[in-house]
Structure 1
Amino acid sequence: MIILAADIGGTTCKLGVLSEELTILHKWEIPTQTGQEGERILRDIYESFKKNAAHKHYDMDEVLGIGLGVPGPVDFDKGTVNGAINLNWSGVKHVKDEFEKLSGKPVFIDNDANVATLGEKFKGAGQNEANVVCLTLGTGVGGGIIANNELVHGHNGSGGELGHFKVDQKERFQCNCGLKGCLETVASATGVINLTYHYYKELQFKTSLEEAIQAKEVQAKMVFDAAKDGDEFATYVIRKVASHLAYAISVISVMTNPKYIIIGGGVSKAGHFLIQHIETEYQKMTFKPALKGTQIVTAELGNDAGMIGAAGLIKQYVK
């Protein structure tokens, strides 16, 4: 038996055929057609699965189930997504029901950050441990919590929305959610830029970033690179970012006590340098028994995490 999986993004859909052990057998991408309120997206995915089956000579009867990762607020039990803006889906869309009608197979859907977490748990940095947390640091901050092998969804699907953990009590920056002080305003790529401008104005450090700051052209990678090169101001900014992340992780640690805390997304490319700074602050502020045996690690699966995790939904809930 095989599993079909799709990680649906606003620009492309990453599709895959996986074994029951979540080994990728084939993978490919198709463009996401968001026109006409995204009405073609699910049908395009299904048609692409069928074409691939004909091309690779396997039968759709061999399919155990289909897992879908969706960028938006998901009601896991109902299989619906409510307002997937990047896909041009407004209101509640019954993704599970629609795809089951198309395919005749069991379908499970979850939020894209949750499926990425599940992917890292099964086949990546989570080492198939029962208790794992993932923070995805990109333009914003996504995340997922796995406790006792189960993704935490909460009563209405808001469980694991780690980007909206309030860490900045000074509420300096507006978040897209409408509140101020969220983790993603100070720890995402956008957050690194926010803090760079803020502290430069406040502290007037000498820095190699001065020209980019004056021109309003700062990028997160510039700040990390400058910090790695020993720039005092850039190092100060990264320490502040790491401190906010450490605070969030320390609270999560006493709530679910994960074995692995996985840092993924574009910002995680800073790798050991970022982890080192997070670890320093995390060790200072976390309840000591919750520290024991917990490791902060970087994600391993890259762009395949969501697809593997979507297939993991079938491994977990169908198989």
Structure 2
Amino acid sequence: MIILAADIGGTTCKLGVMDERLEILHKWEIPTNKEQDGRHILKNIHESFQKNAQIKNYSMDEVKGIGLGVPGPIDFDNGVVNGAINLNWAGKKNIREEYEQLSGKPVYVDNDANVASLGEKFKGAGQNAKDVVCITLGTGVGGGIISNNELVHGYNGSGGELGHFKVDFKERFLCNCGHRGCLETVASATGVVNLAYHYYEELRFSTIIEDDIESRTLQAKQVFDAAKEGDEFSLYIIRKVSNYIAYALSVISVMSNPEYIIIGGGVSKAGDFLIDHIEERFQEITFKPAVEGTKIVTAKLGNDAGIIGAAGLIKQYVK
């Protein structure tokens, strides 16, 4: 038996074929065709899987099911996405029903951040533990909460939307969700730059990145690189970022008590430097029994997390 999985993104769709142990047998990408309200996307994915089966000489009869990761809010029980702007999908769209009609196979659909979290739980830094939190620090902030092996979806699919956890109570920056003070505004790559611009104006520190600040060309990586070199202003910014993340994790920890907290996304490439700052503050402010045994680690799977997690949906829910 094999499992098919797709991590559907705004530019490309990452496709994979896995065995029941979630080992990748084949993986590839196809462009995401968003023309005509994205109506070709699912059909293109299905046809690519069929073509791969012919080339790699396996039968679609061997397929146990298809898991799909989608960049939008999902009604998990029904497989319905409620708008996916990056795919030109407006309003509610029943992805499960559409793809089951195409494939004749069981289909499960979840949010892309959730499936990436599930991938890290099964085959990555989560070591297949029952209780895992994954937080992805990229252009925005996403993630997922896995409790007793189950992804937390909540009443209407908004469970685990970690980027919209309010941490900045001075509400300095406007989030894409329309609110101010979300974790995404102070801990994403954009958030690091937000803080650098804000505190440079307020404090007027001398810093090796001041030319990039004044020309408004600063990138998060430059702040981390300067902090690693001992630049006081950049260190100040990284401590602020780490404090916000640690605060969010401290609250999540008393609610779900994860064994592993996994930090992923582009910002996580700062590695141990970032983890150490988060860990220090996390230990200081978190309820001690909730800290005991919890490990904060960096994600391992990179771009494969999404397809592995999407396949994990089939492993978990298709009996």
- Tell me the TM-score normalised to structure 1 length: 1.00
Give me the whole-angstrom Cα distance separating, in 2, the residues matched to 1:188 and 1:28.
28
Q: Deviations over 1:132-171 (max 9, x none)?
A: 0000000000010000000000010000000000000000
Which residue type is aligned with residue 28 of structure 2?
W
* Cα RMSD after superposing both structures: 0.4
CA offsets 1:176-215 (integer angstroms, 9 cap, x no match): 0000000000000010000000000010000000000010
In the alignment, is residue 150 of structure 1 matched against residue 147 of structure 2?
Answer: no
Aligned pairs, number: 319
Matched, 1:20 2:38: no
Residue 212, structure 1, aligned to residue 235, structure 2: no
**Alignment correspondent of 2:272:** 272
Distance 1:243 1:107 in 2: 40
Equivalence for 1:239: 239
Partner Cα separation in structure 1 for residue 228 and residue 315 of structure 2:
41
Separation in 2 of the partners of 1:145 and 1:64? Answer: 26
Question: 1 CA distance for matches of 2:284 and 2:251?
Answer: 13
- AA partner of residue 162 (structure 1): L
Counterpart residue number, 1:85: 85
Distance 1:78 1:314 in 2: 15
Question: Which residue is 2:10 aligned to?
Answer: 10
| CA distance, structure 2, for counterparts of residue 281 and residue 293 of structure 1 | 16
The amino acid of 1:163's aligned partner reads G
Q: Distance in 1 between matches of 2:213 and 2:163?
A: 25
Offset from partner CA, 1:201-234 (integer Å, 9 cap, x none)? 0100000000000100000000000001110000
* AA aligned opposite 1:3: I
Aligned to 2:116: 116
Structure 1 residue runs of 4+, over 2 Å off? none
Q: Percent same amino acid at aligned positions?
A: 75
Q: Distance in 2 between matches of 1:250 and 1:177?
A: 23
Partner in structure 1 of residue 161 of structure 2: 161
What is the 5 A alignment of 1:89-238?
A: 89-238=89-238
How far apart are the structure 2 equivalents of 1:193 and 1:93? 36
**Aligned: 1:53 with 2:48:** no
Residue ranges of structure 1 left out of the alignment (5+ in a row) = none
**C-alpha deviations, 1:233-276, integer Å up to 9, x for none?**
00000000000000000000000000000000000000000000
Q: Partners of 1:39 and 1:170 in 2: how far apart? A: 42
What CA distance in whole angstroms lies between the structure 1 residues aligned with 2:289 and 2:92?
43
Rounded Cα–Cα distance in structure 1 between residues aligned with 2:224 and 2:37: 39
What is the TM-score of this pair, normalised by structure 2? 1.00
How far did residue 310 of structure 1 move? 0.2
Deviation of 1:121 (Å): 0.2
Give, in whole Å, the separation in 2 of the partners of 1:90 and 1:148: 33
Unaligned runs of 5+ in 2: none
> Distance in 1 between the 2:90 and 2:162 partners?
23
Q: Which amino acid aligns with 1:265?
A: G
Shift of 1:18: 0.2
Letter in 2 for 1:177: C
Letter in 1 for 2:287: F
